[in-house]
């Protein structure tokens, strides 16, 4: 029997309120935590933040008092969940270490979704941005070696490679080339809707995180790298949010948010080795089932349609944080040289020389890019850049070590 959240009752909203000490989660030990326990926390924090921001936007777009009150009640709980998750990060974990976790989320979440995405256009959008976040992980890892004199592999383990992706300096495109075609709500597979909603939340939280902590770094180069990559995360949010069908109603989107939370908590608890964290995922799943029923009832009341017609009979296959080394290599080999041309992804060689991309590149990269400077600096000081290439030399010859800084 496959799991279906609507067959369960979950916890009623009144019983979901927690006291301050329950919320004040004991932080993990950064030297012992499984890297994927860290990434699960970062992902679910993103999901909760999105559920809160979405709910606020919904509340600002409805005049129905009862809907506003119900949204406020659920939102207060989403806020509690966000605290319970995010307070598990210890103070001794530096901003840059948390950042490495964020980019590891971006790599292994995106790769998993791309591998399992049935819609070819959505899949190509995931593959496209995958190589960009993959490169961010490399740039931050080099900054980490330079500023904290530590190896990023201590944080991300041997699950994920650290090497050149699509070089960050080349990712700065004209804003018009970040907008994608959207799926159609009636014909899109349900799992596509979940994938898109999940990746929007993760990229949006990364964008917000860099907006807030990017200026907490001391060195000018570090501050520069955060703002440069922060601007790319803005592009990634634009890229992914435009994939979603904008004609879905607010209530339909609420339903999808709550279902997505159920899917993810159910998914993550299957592979969580940390007993305490697993209990948190189980509790949050029960809460989300309560939210899902509330969203179902709101839709029945206000839209006079059967929400169950929008939901699948059984939950789509689970999401899992797992190593994607071979997949990422395959995409690197075939697509590192891609660029966006309007809504399409094409080989950069096919972009006309007078295209708006080049003009934008000239503007932002005049005076150099921090993402390049960080590599130049480490080459100067250490003779080589920092990498973790687990499956052999870089699949793209021009990005092999010692040549990496001279690629463009
Ligand atoms: Fe939630
Ligand atoms: Fe990134
Ligand atoms: Fe990103
Ligand atoms: Fe929820």
Residue 69 alpha carbon to ligand 4 centre in Å: 15
pLDDT single digits (tens) 256-268: 999 999 999 999 9
CA quadruple 131, 99, 55, 26: dihedral positive or negative? positive
Q: Which residues, other chains included, contact 146 with Cβ-Cβ below 8 Å and sequence gap of 6+?
A: 221, 374, 377, 378, 381
Partners of 341 in the beta sheet? 344
Q: Which residues, other chains included, contact 394 with Cβ-Cβ below 8 Å and sequence gap of 6+?
A: 163, 164, 332, 400, 401
Q: How is residue 263 written in tokens? A: 């899917």
Mark the residues whose beta carbon lies below 5 A from ion ligand 4: 258, 261, 288, 291
Q: What angle do CA 230, 236, 240 make, to 5 degrees?
A: 150
Supply the pLDDT for residue 1: 63
Partners of 345 in the beta sheet? 340
Supply the pLDDT for residue 110: 99
Supply the pLDDT for residue 171: 98
Ligand nearest to the CA of 102: 2
Ligand nearest to the CA of 292: 4
Supply the pLDDT for residue 42: 98
Q: What angle do CA 148, 151, 157 make, to 5 degrees?
A: 135
218, burial (CB in 10 Å: exposed 0-12, middle 13-18, buried 19+): exposed
Write out the H or E segment, with its range, that includes residue 347.
Answer: strand 344-347
Q: How is residue 242 written in tokens? A: 């435009």
Q: Token match 């059967």: residue?
A: 306
Q: How far is 303 from 318, CA to CA, in rounded Å?
A: 30
Inter-residue contact 323 to 11 (CB < 8 Å): no
C-alpha to C-alpha distances, 344 to 73, 176, 184, 237, 385, nearest whole angstrom: 42, 12, 17, 17, 33
Mark the residues whose beta carbon lies below 5 A from ion ligand 2: 106, 133, 136
Give the distance, in angstroms, between the CA of residue 257 and the centroid of all CA atoms in the same chain. 15
Q: How far is 370 from 217, CA to CA, in rounded Å?
A: 14
Residue 43 alpha carbon to ligand 1 centre in Å: 12
Q: How far is 374 from 105, CA to CA, in rounded Å?
A: 22
Ligand nearest to the CA of 110: 3
CA quadruple 272, 277, 129, 403: dihedral positive or negative? negative
Residue 161: count other Cβ atoms within 10 Å of its Cβ: 24
Phi first, then psi: give them for residue 237, nearest 5 degrees.
Answer: -65, -45
Q: Which residues, other chains included, contact 351 with Cβ-Cβ below 8 Å and sequence gap of 6+?
A: 339, 341, 357, 358
Residues of the chain with pLDDT below 70 are 1, 403-408
Residue 333 alpha carbon to ligand 4 centre in Å: 39
Supply the pLDDT for residue 390: 98
Supply the pLDDT for residue 408: 45
SS3 388: strand
Q: Which residues, other chains included, contact 397 with Cβ-Cβ below 8 Å and sequence gap of 6+?
A: none
Residue 204 alpha carbon to ligand 3 centre in Å: 8
Nearest to 121 by CA among 348, 357, 345: 345
User: Over 175-200, what HEC string results?
Assistant: HHHHCCCCCCCCCCCHHHHHHHHHHH
Residue 126 alpha carbon to ligand 2 centre in Å: 13
Partners of 74 in the beta sheet? none
Residue 133 alpha carbon to ligand 2 centre in Å: 4
Supply the pLDDT for residue 324: 98
Residue 355 alpha carbon to ligand 4 centre in Å: 43
Write out the H or E segment, with its range, that includes residue 338.
Answer: strand 338-341
Partners of 340 in the beta sheet? 345
Residue 47 alpha carbon to ligand 4 centre in Å: 9
Residue 56 alpha carbon to ligand 3 centre in Å: 24
Residue 200 alpha carbon to ligand 2 centre in Å: 12
Enter the pTM of the model: 0.97
Inter-residue contact 32 to 94 (CB < 8 Å): no
Instruction: Give helix 190-213 / helix 120-148 axis angle, nearest 10°.
Output: 30
Residue 182 alpha carbon to ligand 3 centre in Å: 19
Ligand nearest to the CA of 228: 2
Supply the pLDDT for residue 2: 84
Inter-residue contact 74 to 11 (CB < 8 Å): no
Inter-residue contact 169 to 136 (CB < 8 Å): no
Residue 100 alpha carbon to ligand 3 centre in Å: 12
């Amino acid at each position: 029997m496959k799991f279906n959240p609507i067959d369960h009752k979950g916890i009623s909203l009144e019983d979901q309120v927690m006291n301050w000490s329950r919320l004040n989660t004991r932080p993990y030990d950064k030297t012992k935590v499984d890297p994927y326990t860290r990434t699960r926390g970062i992902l679910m924090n993103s999901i909760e933040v999105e559920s809160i921001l979405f709910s606020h936007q919904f509340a600002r777009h409805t005049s129905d008092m009862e809907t506003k009150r119900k949204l406020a009640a659920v939102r207060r709980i989403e806020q509690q969940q966000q605290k319970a998750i995010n307070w598990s990060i210890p103070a001794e974990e530096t901003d840059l270490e948390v950042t490495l976790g964020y980019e590891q989320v971006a790599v292994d979440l995106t790769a998993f979704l791309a591998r399992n995405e049935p819609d070819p256009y959505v899949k190509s959008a995931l593959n496209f941005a995958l190589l960009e976040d993959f490169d961010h992980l490399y740039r931050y890892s080099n900054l980490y070696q330079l500023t904290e004199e530590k190896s990023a592999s201590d944080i991300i383990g041997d699950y994920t490679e650290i090497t050149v992706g699509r070089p960050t300096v080349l990712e700065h495109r004209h804003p018009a080339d970040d907008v994608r075609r959207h799926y159609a709500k009636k014909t899109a597979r349900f799992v596509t809707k979940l994938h898109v909603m999940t990746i929007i939340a993760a990229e949006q939280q990364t964008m917000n995180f860099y907006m807030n902590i990017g200026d907490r770094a001391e060195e000018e180069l570090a501050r520069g790298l955060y703002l440069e990559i922060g601007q790319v995360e803005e592009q990634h949010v634009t890229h992914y949010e435009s994939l979603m069908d904008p004609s879905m109603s607010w209530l339909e989107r609420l339903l999808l948010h709550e279902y997505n939370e159920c899917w993810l908590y159910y998914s993550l608890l299957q592979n969580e080795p940390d007993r305490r964290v697993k209990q948190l995922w189980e509790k949050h799943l029960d809460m989300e089932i309560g939210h899902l029923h509330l969203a179902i009832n709101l839709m029945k009341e206000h839209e006079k349609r059967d929400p169950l017609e929008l939901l699948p009979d059984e939950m789509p296959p689970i999401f899992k944080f797992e190593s994607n080394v071979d997949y990422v290599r395959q995409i690197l080999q075939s697509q590192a040289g891609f660029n966006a041309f309007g809504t399409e992804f094409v080989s950069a060689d096919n972009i006309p020389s007078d295209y708006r991309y080049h003009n934008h590149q000239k503007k932002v990269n005049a005076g150099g890019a921090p993402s390049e400077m960080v590599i130049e600096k480490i080459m100067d000081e250490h003779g080589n850049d920092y990498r973790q290439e687990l499956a052999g030399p870089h699949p793209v010859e021009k990005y092999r070590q010692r040549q990496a800084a001279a690629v463009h």
